[in-house]
Structure 1
């Protein structure tokens, strides 16, 4: 297990559970209809949005893209399923192992799967980050 990737994957799972994949802010027309006119404003000026309805943050989105890429890669879909069960759905380890086809009691095999998941996610995120840096001229 790669501790840094584990932390990012846990963060991704929390973001997915709390904020979901979608995001968005309410429409101005919807606010006008709801309030029967202009909605009240508490303070003038711009404010930082507190993630209410804005979806996942940048790190969680990068992990989500990596897991989606694993899902699309032949032979890697089981790792993507493990990621979803382990971090988003919080399925018990025993059930994760059963779904992955790992024999009950084969803890070392399970840990190897988690290690491989972390390595694949790290590789995909690093590749997409370096690709983005090249395109932006960094």
Structure 2
């Protein structure tokens, strides 16, 4: 586990939860679902949807972008993205045993290996997006 990546992922989880599900779906379909079939539009803003809760912050946005890149470009991308959601988006963070069960990992070693791969894969993306991240070690 890489401590600074762990802290960034924890911050991402907190920011993501604070935004809520409406902000997680700033699109027409998400708005329809959240508003019972009605579209509420604002007069300004990039999304055009009044319920959009705003930015997550630098760290949250960087982690979100890195997870998208991992999902698209890494052989284990879908699995690592799911592990990030299982581990960091639940408050409080589930016990390792519960995380392993949700991920269907048979052993602690597999879980630790995947968690370390997640951190190793995200670290270069975070350093590229946030140059000061390298110094935060």
TM-score calculated relative to the size of structure 1: 0.62
Runs of 4+ displaced beyond 4 Å: 26-29
- The residue aligned with 1:101 is 104
The structure-2 alpha-carbon separation of the partners of 1:83 and 1:75, relative to structure 1 and needing over 3 Å to count, comes to same
Q: Deviations over 1:66-87 (max 9, x none)?
A: 1111222243210010001100
Q: Is the 8 A contact 1:71 1:77 kept in 2?
A: yes
Larger Rg: 1
Q: Contact (CA 8 Å) 2:86, 2:102: kept in 1 or not? A: no
Counting only pairs closer than 5 Å after superposition, residues 6-85 of structure 1 correspond to structure 2 as 6-20=6-20, 22=23, 27=42, 53-73=53-73, 74-85=75-86
Backbone CA RMSD of aligned residues: 2.8
> Could you say which residue in structure 1 is the equivalent of 2:88?
87
Structure 2: which 5+ residue stretches go unaligned?
27-40, 45-52, 132-137
- TM-score, normalisation: structure 2: 0.63
7-16 or 90-99, which moves further after superposition? 90-99
